[in-house]
Amino acid sequence: MNATANPPPTGTVRSWLDRRADEQGADISHYFLDADPLTWGDLRKEAEWIASKLAGMGLSKGDSVAVMLPNSRQGILCLFGVLYGGFRAAIINLVAGAEAMGYALSHSDSVVVLVGENQVDLLTAATAAHDVHARTVVVGQSIAWPDNTPHGPLADLVAADHALLMYTSGTTGRPKGVLHTHASLLAGGWTTVLAHDLSPHDRGLCVLPIYHINGLCVTIMGPLIAGGAVVVCEKFSASRFWTVCAEQQVTWFSVVPTIISHLLHGKTDPDAATKARIRFGRSASSALAVETQSAFEQRFGIPIVETMGLTETAAQILSNPLPPGLRKIGSPGLAYGNEVAILSPELEPLGADTEGEIAIRGPNVMLEYYKNPEATRATFTNTGWLRTGDLGKIDTDGYVFVTGRLKELIIKGGENIAPREVDETLYSHPDVVEAAAFARPCARYGERVEAAVKLRDGSTVAQPELLALCLQKLGKFKCPDVIHILDDLPKGPSGKIQRLRLAEMTA
pLDDT of residue 496: 60
pLDDT greater at residue 46 or residue 99? 46
Percent helix, strand and coil across the chain, each rounded to 5? 30, 25, 40
DSSP class per residue in 448-496: EEEEEEEEPTT----HHHHHHHHHHHH-TTTS-SEEEE-S---B-TTS-
Task: Name the residue among 255, 343, 261 with its Cα closest to residue 296.
Answer: 261
| Claim to verify: residue 229 and residue 295 sit in the same structural domain | yes
% pLDDT > 70, the chain? 96
| Claim to verify: residue 303 and residue 426 sit in the same structural domain | no
pLDDT of residue 262: 84
pLDDT of residue 493: 42
Domain assignment present for 455: yes
CA distance 135 to 116: 14
| Claim to verify: residue 172 and residue 315 sit in the same structural domain | yes
Domain assignment present for 3: no
pLDDT of residue 169: 62
Domain count for the chain, please give it. Answer: 2
Domain assignment present for 342: yes
| Claim to verify: residue 355 and residue 388 sit in the same structural domain | yes
pLDDT at 442 over 50: yes
pLDDT of residue 492: 55
User: CA geometry: angle at 215 spanning 299 and 440, to 5°?
Assistant: 70
Domain assignment present for 357: yes
Domain assignment present for 8: no
pLDDT of residue 147: 94
Supply the mean pLDDT for the chain.
Answer: 92
pLDDT at 31 over 60: yes
| Claim to verify: residue 338 and residue 416 sit in the same structural domain | no
User: What is the span of the domain harbouring residue 148?
Assistant: 13-394
Domain assignment present for 2: no
| Claim to verify: residue 322 and residue 468 sit in the same structural domain | no
Distance of CA 142 to the CA centre of its chain: 27
**pLDDT tens by residue, 105-159:** 999 999 999 999 999 999 999 999 898 999 999 999 999 999 999 999 999 999 9
Question: What is each CA distance from 483 to 357, 435, 470, 471, in whole angstroms?
Answer: 32, 10, 10, 12
Specify the CATH number for the domain of residue 421.
3.30.300.30
Average pLDDT over residues 179-195: 98
Task: Name the residue among 206, 260, 202 with its Cα closest to residue 233.
Answer: 206
Domain assignment present for 239: yes
pLDDT at 488 over 80: yes
| Claim to verify: residue 229 and residue 145 sit in the same structural domain | yes
Report the DSSP pairing between strands 356-361 and 386-394: antiparallel
CA distance 316 to 307: 7
pLDDT of residue 504: 86
CA distance 217 to 240: 24
Last residue of a domain, one of 365, 394, 423: 394
| Claim to verify: residue 139 and residue 283 sit in the same structural domain | yes
pLDDT greater at residue 104 or residue 495? 104
**pLDDT tens by residue, 379-388:** 999 999 999 9
**pLDDT tens by residue, 279-296:** 999 998 777 777 788 889
Backbone angles phi and psi of 63, in degrees to 5:
-65, 145
Last residue of a domain, one of 368, 394, 420: 394
Cβ partners under 8 Å of residue 112, min gap 6: 54, 57, 59, 63, 65, 66, 134, 135, 136, 137
Instruction: Out of 100-109, 299-308, 360-369, 496-505, pick the least confident.
Output: 496-505
Query: 124-132: long-range contacts at Cβ-Cβ below 8 A with a sequence spacing of 24 or more?
Result: 125/98, 125/101, 126/92, 126/98, 126/101, 126/102, 127/102, 128/98, 128/102, 129/98, 129/99, 129/101, 129/102, 129/103, 130/99, 130/102, 130/103, 130/105, 130/106, 131/106, 132/102, 132/105, 132/106
Query: 369-372: long-range contacts at Cβ-Cβ below 8 A with a sequence spacing of 24 or more?
Result: 369/176, 369/177, 369/178, 369/179, 370/107, 370/108, 370/165, 370/176, 370/177, 370/178, 370/179, 371/107, 371/177, 372/176, 372/177
**pLDDT tens by residue, 296-345:** 999 999 999 999 999 999 999 999 999 999 999 889 999 999 999 999 99
CA distance 186 to 2: 18
CA distance 111 to 146: 14
pLDDT at 5 over 50: no
Q: What is the DSSP letter of 93?
A: P
Distance of CA 426 to the CA centre of its chain: 26
Strand, coil or helix: 79: helix
| Claim to verify: residue 418 and residue 444 sit in the same structural domain | yes
Instruction: Out of 190-199, 248-257, 286-295, pick the least confident.
Output: 286-295
Domain assignment present for 388: yes
| Claim to verify: residue 319 and residue 424 sit in the same structural domain | no
pLDDT greater at residue 419 or residue 58? 58
| Claim to verify: residue 64 and residue 117 sit in the same structural domain | yes
- In the chain the first and final C-alpha atoms are separated, in Å, by 41
Average pLDDT over residues 445-449: 93
CA dihedral 403, 409, 412, 415 (to 10 degrees): -100
CA distance 79 to 50: 10
Cβ partners under 8 Å of residue 144, min gap 6: 137, 138
Task: Name the residue among 309, 302, 258 with its Cα closest to residue 280.
Answer: 302
| Claim to verify: residue 334 and residue 464 sit in the same structural domain | no
pLDDT of residue 173: 58
CA distance 475 to 484: 19
pLDDT greater at residue 261 or residue 472? 472
Last residue of a domain, one of 334, 363, 394: 394
Q: Please tell me the total number of residues recorded for the chain in this structure.
A: 507
Specify the CATH number for the domain of residue 216.
3.40.50.12780
Rg (CA), the chain: 23
Given a contact cutoff of 8 angstroms between Cβ atoms, the answer to whether 30 and 61 are in contact is no
